[in-house]
Structure formats: structure tokens, C-alpha cells
Amino acid sequence: MKILITGGCGFIGSHLVDTLIKRETNVEIVDDLSTGKIENISLHLKNKKLNLWIDSVLNKSLIDELVAKNDFIFHFASAVGVKKILDNPLLSIESNIEGAKNIFTSASKYKKPVLFASTSEIYGKNENVPFKEDADIVLGPTFKKRWGYACSKAMDEFLAFAFKEERGLNVIITRLFNTVGPRQSESYGMVLPRFVLQSLSDKDITVFKDGTQSRCFIHVYDVVDAFLEILDSPDKAYGEIFNIGTTEETTILNLAHMIKRLTNSMSKIIFINPESIYNTGFQDMEKRVPDITKINKLLNFTPKYSLEDIIKDVIKYFKSGR
């Protein structure tokens, strides 16, 4: 089997690459290295099973050629994270929408299945947790730039369903909740690697607002397991949306305390206003909890790693010098 992974040099993509190469699968990556790193896949660079294209999913003819010769496509390439969208709104929105359109167009043409990585951001300000896949999308105003990420992913989902209906695309939509683990960069506003690095260097741990907002963090290894379940039985999943996350909820303040304890850090936990970093355009959600009944029932998927396991793995990763 030959698999195309867009964004394969990124955090999540590179872990999937590791597992597929271990399974002796042929893997082709297209990544423009905007947030991804070659080091993430450096173990496999000499492996004949891996083919890397440093290019953009906006390159239509390359995408068409690659989709034609692969059997399954994981579409992860995207401007990721709120900070990236706030810093580069136009390029980010354009590449999220155009990139998905290029993938879906070629995948429909050659009848190739696509797994698309969407996001829990889609649920926006909806307060009715846990979120089921058919929950309403409640977004903020369009002049608040942070909603551009959720909106562009929502547009991609609309596109996916339109391609399914009108061109027979076999598409699977996965909505990932806060995915964390080794190789996640602290540079784009991701809270867990930021706290770990602050703790390891005894700097202040900067908690937004009063830290009572909560999240559910899933290990990237669990996410990769879910992808493999889907890859191994795609027929059950075509045309479906799946939440992928854990239901273990933690406040951001508790996360800061856990990380401080697990790193034996002298850091102080301080509270800051996110607007002081992001200027305008930032709005936060109080809670984001997935309902994972659907993926659990259909694909027998349950996350295995606890938050403490994840934090320990991230600490080990940063201590190893990456």
C-alpha cells in the first residue's frame, strides 16, 4: 500500500510516518516546512520506503500527480494553531481552503480515499460539552481573526461533503482535540510545550486569565492509533465525522501545577492577559470536551495514555535536546 501524507514533517504527521514505515508501508510526504521540520522524519530519510517532496499543497499539478500514484491520503497540511492564523490570516486561510480543494479534487478524480484532519476549534463557543459530532458550530465575529482557523476548517468540511455528494469522494473527517506529545513546537501558541519549556528553565509559567479554562489533552500516539484503526477499516468510516480526543479534563492552572511538579521546577506560576500577547483577535473557550462514543463504537477506539504520561514524554523529549 502507498500512502500520501500532506504535512508529514509536522508534529502529528511525522508520528504517523514513523508508524507506517515500521509497518513497511510506502510513504510519500509533501510538506512546505512552514511549521514542520525535516528533523522530525530524519530517521527515515535514507529509507527507500519514504519519498519526500518539499513543496506546497497549493501546487496543483504536483498534488494531482501524487494523489494519482498513492492508495490513501492523509491531509494534514494546514496553517495550524490560533497564533499562526493571527499572525498570517490571509495566507493561512487561503492555504487551508485551497489546499483541501486541491486534495479533494484529485482524490475524487482518481477515486482515492482521504482522511482529513479537522479540529475541535470548529465547535467554537458552543458551551454544551461534551461535543457530539452533530453539535452546532458557534463562532465569534469575523473581525476576530482567531475564528479564521475554525472557519477555514469548517469550510474544508463543507467542501469534503460537497465532493462526496457530487463527485463520490470517499472522505473521512477527524476532528482532533488538543493533541500533544514529543515534537510539538512551542512556537505557535501551544500551551503544553510552552509550560514544559518554561518550567525546565525555571522561568515564569504564564497562565492565561485565571487558568480555570479547561482542556482535554490526548497523546499523539493515541491519535496515530485512531488513524490506523481508520486506515485498516476505512469502509466503516467513509462519509463520517469523528471526534478524536480524551475525556480526561484538566484546567490550565492544574496543568501548570502538574508540569511544575513533574519537572521539579522553581518556576512561579503567573497569570497574564492573552490580549497582551495576541493583541486583538483573541477569544478563548472555557471548556472543550469531546464525546468520543462514535469512534469508540464504530472503531473500538479508546485512548490509552494519561495526562501524566504525556507530560513525562514531553519533558523527556525536551530534555533530550530534541
Ligand X SMILES: NC(=O)c1ccc[n+]([C@@H]2O[C@H](COP(=O)([O-])OP(=O)(O)OC[C@H]3O[C@@H](n4cnc5c(N)ncnc54)[C@H](O)[C@@H]3O)[C@@H](O)[C@H]2O)c1
150 binds ligand X per the rule CB under 6 A: no
Asked if 213 contacts 289 with a C-beta cutoff of 8 angstroms, the reply is no
The residue from 123, 149, 278, 305 that is catalytic is: 149
Nearer to ligand X, 29 or 265 (CB): 29
User: Which residue is associated with the grid cell 463520517?
Assistant: 240
Tell which positions 176-195 bind ligand X, by CB under 6 A: 176, 178-179
Please tell me whether residue 289 binds ligand X under the rule CB under 6 A: no
34 vs 108, which CB is nearer to ligand X? 34
Restricted to residues 234-253, the positions that interact with ligand X (CB under 6 A) are: none
Q: Which is nearer to ligand X, 112 or 183 (CB)?
A: 183
Q: Residue 44 has what DSSP assignment?
A: G
In angstroms, what is the minimal distance from the CB of 13 to ligand X? 6
Query: What are φ and ψ of residue 53, in 5° steps?
Result: -115, 115
Is residue 19 a contact residue for ligand X (CB under 6 A)? no
For residues 113 and 99, give the distance between their C-alpha atoms in angstroms, rounded to a whole number: 16
- How far is 167 from 247, CA to CA, in rounded Å? 36
Number of Cβ within 10 Å of residue 93's Cβ equals 18
Which one of 5, 17, 27, 32 is in contact with ligand X (CB under 6 A)?
32
Is 99 one of the binding residues for ligand X (CB under 6 A)? yes
User: Looking at 21, 58, 200, 262, which residue binds ligand X (CB under 6 A)?
Assistant: 58
DSSP E strands, the chain: 2-6, 26-31, 50-54, 72-75, 114-119, 171-176, 179-180, 205-208, 214-216, 218-219, 241-244, 249-251, 269-272
Is residue 36 within the footprint of ligand X (CB under 6 A)?
yes
Provide the minimum distance between the beta carbon of 238 and ligand X in the complex, in angstroms, as a whole number.
20
Interface segment toward ligand X; rule CB under 6 A; list 77-85, 124-132, 277-285, 298-306:
77-85
Distance CA 237, CA 160 (A): 14
Is residue 49 within 8 Å of 21, Cβ to Cβ? yes
Interacting positions 102-141 with ligand X (CB under 6 A): 117, 119
Active site (annotated) includes residue 149: yes
Part in contact with ligand X (CB under 6 A); list of ranges 131-139, 171-179, 192-200, 285-293: 171-179
Map residue 116 onto helix, strand or coil.
Answer: strand
Give the total of residues touching ligand X (CB under 6 A): 29
- 511525522: which residue's cell? 14
Catalytic sites, residue numbers: 149
**Interacting residues toward ligand X by CB under 6 A:** 6-7, 9-13, 30-36, 56-58, 76-80, 95, 99, 117, 119, 176, 178-179
